[in-house]
Amino acid sequence: MLSITEKQFIRNQIQNGYRIDNRRPDEESEIIIKSKNLVKADGYIYLIQGNSEIEISIQNLINKEEQENISSEIDDFIDNNIENENEFENNIDNEEQNAKTLEKKPVKIIFNSKSYNFINKIKNIINCDVKINLNVIKDDGNIFSLFVFGLNLILKKKNIEYYDIYTEASNKEHFNENNILCKRYALIDSIIIIDPIKMEEESSDCIIDVLYQDKKVKCYFIEGMVDNTKIENILNKILEE
């Protein structure tokens, strides 16, 4: 943790146009996949961005037998209740209407990490029972952005059932889409810092994590105080990139 004096020094430097970031320009946003093993657990990845390094592994809590039972139940329902294609289409329409009144099945998410708790951020990202392990080797900022990138990559590659990120798309539709990405911003007075390092995060007034897909903002998370005008400026930056 930085002292008040250190934070003020960093703020003064940024206000005068100098960042304390020692990364090369190409390292600020570049994500390097150091290791990937989609056989280990139910997916494993080791990522580096600048001086930050993390590893993620997941375990799908729905085993193959349960998945086969679900598929079998769906097949039985179709065989026993649907006689022709027209009736099948009508049933789909009716089911879509009825689904709006039904509550979603509770999702079981186990999140293991020594010092980081992203459960409130990811509970709306994932729509399947899953155990996620996050190990932060080096933290120099942007950990959540790295985490979202890695988790997306693992789940899409593993094609885990019932996976959905901020969309109502079916499983097949989702896996044909581009990844959802996360960009972190730090605010110091009226200055917006993209991909801040750890010291800049600690010295800032506010941190905003924006999740977006194809330049469309899905949602954002705010830590600290910020007015709506600054949020709009940040969201507009996503569209400009």
Q: What is the DSSP letter of 61?
A: S
pLDDT over 70 (residue 81): no
Longest alpha-carbon distance in the chain: 75
* CATH number for the domain running over 1-20+180-241: 3.30.230.70
Per-residue pLDDT, 47: 93
- How do residues 214-232 score in pLDDT, each as one tens digit? 777 878 888 888 777 777 7
Alpha carbons within 13 A on the beta-carbon side of 109: 19
**CA 170, 173, 177 angle in degrees (round to 5)?**
130
Q: Where do the structural domains in the chain lie, given as residue ranges?
A: 1-20+180-241, 31-72+104-179
Q: Check residue 19 and report its DSSP letter.
A: -
* Residue 79 CB neighbours (<10 A): 9
Q: What is the mean pLDDT of residues 22-44?
A: 72
Separation CA 216–CA 213 (nearest Å): 5
Tokens representing 155 are 């789940």
Beta strands in the chain (DSSP E): 32-37, 44-49, 52-60, 109-112, 130-138, 181-188, 191-194, 206-213, 216-224
For residue 146 the two structure tokens come to: 């790295």
What pTM did the predictor assign?
0.71
In this structure, are residues 200 and 186 in contact, taking their beta carbons and an 8 Å threshold?
A: yes
pLDDT, tens digit, for every residue of 88-109? Answer: 445 445 555 444 433 445 667 7
